[in-house]
Chain A
């Protein structure tokens, strides 16, 4: 049975308190109206549907939960997510899954600037495009984009991996194209399968760190 929590009658605090205390079950948040910080700080395998648009930091720091936003989501959706699943049916604003440590984040539409910034192990799949400076200082995890990427993709990237199917406007400092081996095709195929998005893994190009900026060197000043 699905428990309905109506933001037309309840405050964000009341809704989040109910979701944060739940240990299991299925919840539906009605009339979200772009409210901020919805379904953040969850710590249990609950299933939650946000029945519309969400504001900033929806699903922030989430652990174990399975959260679906039926509309669009604002800045910092799934920021610092630890585990579980977050799916947005529409588009998201900037800083998608910023600093995310784990779990899978799926955006069926497009993501704005800085998608995957400082990501630390989260897997991100975007059905549309991502904006500029995506995967900036990305440390670990995978970013898969079915559309195009904006300028300065993967600037100052560490060990995260980026897979782009469309065009890349430009690569950031220390981010380079890398060969797609069998293992990488398998990674993309598996992530697409988990994201329930269809595309040919062979149509993606892999990008990652040249590892030239890992140590200070006078010879790399042109990179900055």
Chain B
């Protein structure tokens, strides 16, 4: 029986919030109820998904010889586009800069990406909005994207590019087109895209002149004819059905297949799209590699992987699973200065915090990167930011070499699945490597 005399002292339970209706979910319901429109943001999937952190390298042991960490050579060069192109791209490191448009990024940011990548002997990529002089002028190797919108599409730029990337989709939104809201459609951006200034631009999600792999094969033929069969042609797909999409890209005549996982960023799209469409990078790589191997095209058609690459360890694990190179976007922006805690006061004024700022579409980036406002963009020094990117790429490369040597590899492309184990059953199933301490690969 309860003690009636002590009823005023019944211990209270701690306030308990729902795991289903957590704080973020509740805030989103309130925001939706107030505005009547879906949430738009930049970046990639923020949810927890199986990733490279769930893999470990085994390193050398009695049966594997390591290489001397500071003395013995470990090559990092990679050639992309050797299948059909007469002038394939030769990169000094297997880490490239992913496509990001002028428009979503400031001219200073594009210049900084070019400077940093060029210092390291690697490539940058245009985006949905055409090629700028800042970008071409500061990128020794520039990949020109052919997107559904065809904004700024120009045969002269096609011919002065070093490679061509046909974008079928991106990991943040497989099946979605680009989005750039009016705040960033300045006179210059509008002029490049043949759009009215200040409108909300919603790009097409399908190419205007081809549908399916049979058409794509002919489209690729046209692009090769226009560029005298010199340029490597990449096909970029969002990670959705990587086995089939990779096989169909090869069938269509691609020199390089780029697979972008759901952690890959976007300038802007619906939150629901980013978090609920597509599959993790880790899950996509083995499927793409399987398609290439079954077609006897592994290492003949190169595989570039992107989406959540942060360190040399991530690069090494992607290569070990069969990629030829990786692309970075979000990490490169952070290296330039995106989401820097030094700008916390300004993030707080916008109702966010360093590390969480993702309203890139609003164009108010205090770091001067995801903006078209001149007074903000001029905050970014392209030379210093380019140097930071080069430093970061240097560290990633050294980390990659460290892991490769530890596994006895004199070339980073010699890393292999046999060097890896998984920490979780999910990662073991996706990556198709054994659970650590066992010989068990789920599903085999």
Contacts and interface: CB of A to CB of B under 8 A. Distances in A.
Interface of A: 12-13, 16-17, 20, 36-37, 40-41, 43, 55-57, 60-61, 63, 75-76, 79-80, 82, 94-95, 98-99, 101, 114, 117-118, 120-121, 136-137, 139-140, 158-159, 214-216, 218
Contacts of A75: 209-210, 215, 218
18 contacts: A13-B225, A40-B222, A57-B222, A60-B222, A61-B153, A61-B155, A61-B226, A75-B215, A75-B218, A76-B209, A82-B155, A94-B209, A120-B150, A140-B194, A215-B182, A216-B37, A218-B35, A218-B37
Contact of B155 (A80, A94, A95, A121): A80
A210 to B, nearest CB: 13
A216 to B, nearest CB: 5
Q: Which residue of B194, B210, B222, B229 has the most chain A CB atoms within 10 A of its CB atom?
A: B222
Given A98-B209, A118-B150, A37 B225 contact: yes
Contacts of B181: 216
B208 A158 contact: no
Interface string B130-157: 0000000000000000000110011110
Contacts of A216: 37, 181, 200
A37 B222 contact: yes
Contact of A82 (B154, B182, B199, B221): B154
A17 B228 contact: yes
B366 to A, nearest CB: 24
SS class, residues of chain A in contact with chain B: loop
Contact of B209 (A36, A57, A218): A57
Nearest to B203: A137
A114 B156 CA distance: 25
A20 B155 CA distance: 12
A45 to B, nearest CB: 15
Contacts of B215: 56, 75
B195 A139 contact: yes
Nearest to A41: B226
A60 B219 CA distance: 10
A137 B204 contact: yes
B196 to A, nearest CB: 6
B229 to A, nearest CB: 7
B403 interface: no
Contact of B219 (A12, A57, A118, A215): A57
Nearest to A75: B209
A41 B227 contact: yes
SS class, residues of chain B in contact with chain A: loop
B12 to A, nearest CB: 42
Given A13-B229, A75-B209, A36 B222 contact: yes
Interface of B: 35-37, 149-150, 153-156, 158-159, 181-182, 193-196, 199-200, 204, 208-210, 215, 218-219, 221-222, 225-229
Nearest to A96: B209
Contacts of B158: 61
Given A76-B209, A216-B37, 10 more contacts: A61-B158, A75-B210, A79-B209, A80-B153, A95-B209, A98-B208, A114-B208, A139-B195, A158-B195, A214-B199
A27 to B, nearest CB: 16
Q: Across the A-B interface, give the 10 residue pairs with the lowest CB-CB distance, nearest first.
A: A41-B226, A76-B209, A218-B36, A99-B150, A98-B208, A61-B155, A95-B209, A214-B199, A37-B222, A57-B222
A158 B196 contact: yes
B208 A117 contact: yes
B33 to A, nearest CB: 12
Contacts of B218: 36-37, 55-57, 75
A99 B209 contact: yes
A17 B224 CA distance: 11
Contact of A159 (B35, B182, B196): B196
A117 B211 CA distance: 14
Contacts of B229: 13
Contacts of B156: 43
Contacts of A40: 222, 225-226
B215 to A, nearest CB: 7
A214 B190 CA distance: 13
Contacts of B210: 75-76, 95
Contacts of B182: 214-215
B334 to A, nearest CB: 29
A139 B194 contact: yes
Nearest to A118: B208
Q: Which residue of A63, A114, A118, A140 has the most chain B CB atoms within 10 A of its CB atom?
A: A118
A118 B222 contact: no
Given A41-B226, A43-B155, A56-B218, A215 B199 contact: yes
Given A13-B229, A57-B218, A218-B37, A95 B208 contact: yes
A176 B156 CA distance: 36
A57 B226 CA distance: 11
A61 B36 CA distance: 42
Contacts of A136: 208
A63 B219 CA distance: 18
Q: Which residue of A63, A114, A216 has the most chain B CB atoms within 10 A of its CB atom?
A: A216
